[in-house]
Structure 1
């Protein structure tokens, strides 16, 4: 529960609200601070109650099953799934996995598309205190193998989605022969040797409730699931999403009064923290309903929203750009949506989308799967991801605001700027810097993996000796009214097709081709496309020429070993590479030059999916590319 000191501050905030008009002459941003602080208070109150009483997400779900068993929990492909039905299916999953004699806290890797089975599998594993590793169903080859191995999964469950079994089967020989692999959507006779039909097992299993004692080992620090992120280097890393973090994340929508009469809509992959923690977990937290679509469809988006009477949608910015491409209709503003909440909505389409579809409130936020806080824009300010005024920094001490900071950063040295006292320096109005957030003392790691891997995300001795902050690796701008705006992503990760792309992962795949000497991978901006398209600067080995065979081999290697969103759109062949004194590839100039043949003298190529190769990019084809949707 909030402390007395915090309650005093709440009271002060309420009293100050009455004098907002007078205060605005001195502090024009004070009203927006109060709106944000009061919204965060709602989040803090609900979060603190469940954390104090250790009410886990599965406990909340089971409570609503008893409270309203016949209420629709999930809408999916013309079917309605009640709380009671989903609970019964979760019980079946729990009983099937129990028969495998796993140890408390073991991990089950699941590779399931957006369908009800994703939800009841997660809930079933929670009933018996196991960890669900969300495997990206786009992955193939080495990244897929690595993801399963990194989770230390004792069981694998594959969904019914097209091609998922085939992807796993390609790497099956590299997994333990004793690893049970269950497959949904196929009978036992349809499966290759070494696989088990989950449908068959579900048919033979009764939905018997399992004892809560089976999850008595679970604490607030116990992992609920692993959500994979590219981070800044290497292959996908399982970020630890523990029970405390799930409780906190499930209360975020309280900031705009999300309640049991609302209907949410999830179209981004549930293996991401956005759809899972913001949409699914907040729906469970209040006993609301959620509409699911297997894969995003701009054409069917509003049709779904009207059919299911959706009131709150979760988005990533790129989706809204696709939806704006759909021809205008008299039904554009016929819906029940009161809030759109998400991240990555670019300034150039924000107002266009809001005005055309009459969306009352857009709540943009900034965060990261493995991050320790969130910035949130609760005032409908176009383009902003949150606020960070002096008052908000003060309020963060009392949970009225997120414990985030934006500090001065040296892009050349790639490190925070420290003052004479050795500590970091806060950015003020009109400045941009690195966003960081305070790390609780109970948090010692962000990922499953080595101490060295985790240490890279810590900033220590930031403002006082011994403190610790999480480094998001992103640059944000603070405007004159203390609103925050996303500017750029540092390091070796960029975002494309709603996914984080690790430049190191792409480079490592390309480097396995025997004719490539070195690879430098980075993202470049393409007009009317959100995120950055992948571009690979390649140095060929001596004696190797750019031939059709070389280009086809690069295309085949990317198609086989990389998910579609990580495959480079552009290639640039260089005669030599520029590196830093520490032998790191220089990217800034390459990023600025992009893929314009009128600027770049090196040979340029663009992906050619039709002919399964890369085709030359010249002045004429360049103008076609910038007009297209890649």
Structure 2
């Protein structure tokens, strides 16, 4: 199916059209509640079934639009069914895992929707991973099969030597041989989907999160979670069949791969998929595809603000943008420059058991919980001890709630998705799941999910994000586990000791990676740069290097990081040699380069 771009005027610009009036905040909440209530009433109805119903009612309506291929609802439903029958034909049993390593494209959605429809579980693999990190994620899923896109074959090949499992390889695209998924799907397949009992309680996806320490963990995402995400967001953004959502976020993440497309497919609208974010192409795409919505992360908004003015940046029909991580100091400038009518900021974690929604558009806030929904989102902020890494307890051993304006760790009550709290489905590892549970919090026997995030609640009841707890820091929209990066660096020739941490950078969201190293005489910064490029994705490679004579440690042999973090990469404070990464490798960080970074003139 060919998607025709919006007609343009003689000046080359699509005329701006006013967005239709939208319901009040209360009505948005009520619509979300209504949609999610249906999920419990029809436990055998999955997202693939919703799409099939739209295909029956409006077969020719655009479901997925992209540069290279677009699918109507009838075509998407047929492709989902083809993947479902393929999964059955190769012996994927209920509960078996299939890893998916594929860039953003329509088949990404069709593949996981089809495989999970017949009871398979799909592990959504980060396409930026290589080598041992990629192998770890595949092994963690205990995959029986892996689908690898032709353009990511080299990345998978780099992981082969590190694999401890032996998933059967299926290549997507490129030459057709015995490992080609297209060839297998073209073969004789079962005539119809077998009558397997798959419900919203069954596992659908594994989505990876780095958590607070260690290598990535695989969060368990049930069909109930998929449907709830899709239903909540469809309701809160008041999605209709006339809407088009622009999605340029990675589809291996829960937001880009489930929330954004799921909410529009739930409503019968269209999802416009871009393979990756491009600041220079962004507004051309928004106007070309006549989008009414787009999904963001905070970094994306900042990049757009820093980009040169585009004649199309206000010639759009956007009515709302939705996402997370939009800083308060960026919010109003972003909304004003690009003529965004409404911003819906939210807070959620893939494995978390509660979410926050800033439906009112309060700049810098991540949301608040309406009083009539407090029983469905039981959340609290408790006092946190930085030294122990645990919430503080009173004389009776109970956690202490923070006062308004006081920062602490945000936690969510664990229950059965009813008035007692939200579900926590955990990770594939029971031990890792237990680390996220806080017990005997306010009463004997209660249990709460630890977000690992410091927040505060202002006088109006809005939650505001403060920082991440522990070693994990966020850069370029990705969580970076310091311990994983440390392990990779420590194995580099010439490195004796390493400590990795995040540092704040002017004019940038999140924290950039920095490594304090003790090195030998054979250490070569250029060799380290090449070494890391082969083993870590770009967002995880430290931007700054500090060469120290020794690293201070605690009594339990853990590196002391707070002083390193406080000193940062300022050569006026740090007397140790400093380096910064540029396009050619690590170069000395002198006062001139530091001044350019501080002014936002040095490309990181």
Does the pair score TM above 0.5? yes
Deviates further, 102-111 or 475-484: 475-484
Following TM superposition, by how much is the alpha carbon of 1:515 offset from its aligned partner in structure 2, in angstroms? 3.3
Quick one: structure 1 residues 209 and 463, their matched pair in 2 at CA, closer, same or farther if it must change by over 3 Å? same
2-structure distance, mates of 1:624, 1:397? 47
The reply to whether residue 172 of structure 1 matches residue 179 of structure 2 is no
Quick one: structure 1 residues 406 and 39, their matched pair in 2 at CA, closer, same or farther if it must change by over 3 Å? farther
Task: Give the conservation status (yes or no) of the 8 Å contact 1:186–1:199.
Answer: no
Aligned equivalent of 1:183, options 147, 171, 181: 171
Cα deviation, 1:155-178, whole Å, max 9, x if unaligned, reads 100124x3x101111233454796
Task: Give the match's secondary structure for 2:542.
Answer: coil
Following TM superposition, by how much is the alpha carbon of 1:592 offset from its aligned partner in structure 2, in angstroms? 1.4
Quick one: structure 1 residues 427 and 507, their matched pair in 2 at CA, closer, same or farther if it must change by over 3 Å? same
Match of 2:533 in 1: 559
Task: Give the conservation status (yes or no) of the 8 Å contact 2:353–2:424.
Answer: no
Match of 2:31 in 1: 42
Segments of structure 2 that go 5 or more residues without pairing to the other structure are: 1-23, 418-422
Match runs of 1:285-304 below 5 Å: 285-304=266-285
Task: Give the conservation status (yes or no) of the 8 Å contact 2:89–2:189.
Answer: no
Following TM superposition, by how much is the alpha carbon of 1:206 offset from its aligned partner in structure 2, in angstroms? 6.3
Task: Give the match's secondary structure for 2:227.
Answer: helix
Following TM superposition, by how much is the alpha carbon of 1:330 offset from its aligned partner in structure 2, in angstroms? 4.0
2-structure distance, mates of 1:397, 1:242? 23
2-structure distance, mates of 1:261, 1:321? 28
The reply to whether residue 126 of structure 1 matches residue 106 of structure 2 is no
Match runs of 1:315-464 below 5 Å: 315-387=296-368, 392=370, 395-399=372-376, 402-441=377-416, 443=423, 445-449=425-429, 451-464=430-443
Following TM superposition, by how much is the alpha carbon of 1:334 offset from its aligned partner in structure 2, in angstroms? 1.4
Task: Give the conservation status (yes or no) of the 8 Å contact 2:86–2:189.
Answer: no
Quick one: structure 1 residues 165 and 441, their matched pair in 2 at CA, closer, same or farther if it must change by over 3 Å? same
The reply to whether residue 604 of structure 1 matches residue 578 of structure 2 is yes
1-structure distance, mates of 2:188, 2:297? 39
Following TM superposition, by how much is the alpha carbon of 1:509 offset from its aligned partner in structure 2, in angstroms? 0.6
The reply to whether residue 255 of structure 1 matches residue 236 of structure 2 is yes
Quick one: structure 1 residues 70 and 209, their matched pair in 2 at CA, closer, same or farther if it must change by over 3 Å? farther
1-structure distance, mates of 2:297, 2:374? 30
Segments of structure 1 that go 5 or more residues without pairing to the other structure are: 1-34, 190-194
Match runs of 1:99-114 below 5 Å: 99-114=89-104
The reply to whether residue 586 of structure 1 matches residue 560 of structure 2 is yes
Match of 1:538 in 2: 517
The reply to whether residue 83 of structure 1 matches residue 78 of structure 2 is no
Deviates further, 509-518 or 339-348: 509-518
1-structure distance, mates of 2:296, 2:124? 19
2-structure distance, mates of 1:180, 1:387? 46
* Paired positions, count: 573
Cα deviation, 1:499-526, whole Å, max 9, x if unaligned, reads 1111011011111124333211111111
2-structure distance, mates of 1:117, 1:497? 26
Match of 1:23 in 2: none
Match runs of 1:504-523 below 5 Å: 504-523=483-502
Task: Give the conservation status (yes or no) of the 8 Å contact 1:92–1:207.
Answer: no
Task: Give the match's secondary structure for 1:387.
Answer: coil
Cα deviation, 1:190-247, whole Å, max 9, x if unaligned, reads xxxxx71223233445695413x13x1x333321101101111221111111111112
Cα deviation, 1:356-399, whole Å, max 9, x if unaligned, reads 111111111111111011111011111110125xxx4x544443
1-structure distance, mates of 2:310, 2:580? 35
Q: Say what the alpha-carbon RMSD is for the aligned residues.
A: 2.1
1-structure distance, mates of 2:46, 2:444? 34
TM-score, normalization: structure 1? 0.87
Quick one: structure 1 residues 444 and 404, their matched pair in 2 at CA, closer, same or farther if it must change by over 3 Å? closer
2-structure distance, mates of 1:177, 1:478? 46
1-structure distance, mates of 2:117, 2:199? 13
The reply to whether residue 67 of structure 1 matches residue 39 of structure 2 is no
Task: Give the conservation status (yes or no) of the 8 Å contact 2:109–2:257.
Answer: no
Task: Give the match's secondary structure for 1:124.
Answer: helix
Cα deviation, 1:553-595, whole Å, max 9, x if unaligned, reads 3212211111111011111112222223332222222111110
1-structure distance, mates of 2:130, 2:153? 11
The reply to whether residue 52 of structure 1 matches residue 37 of structure 2 is no
Match of 1:528 in 2: 507
Task: Give the conservation status (yes or no) of the 8 Å contact 2:130–2:535.
Answer: yes
Following TM superposition, by how much is the alpha carbon of 1:46 offset from its aligned partner in structure 2, in angstroms? 1.6
Aligned equivalent of 1:310, options 263, 276, 291: 291
Match of 1:615 in 2: 587
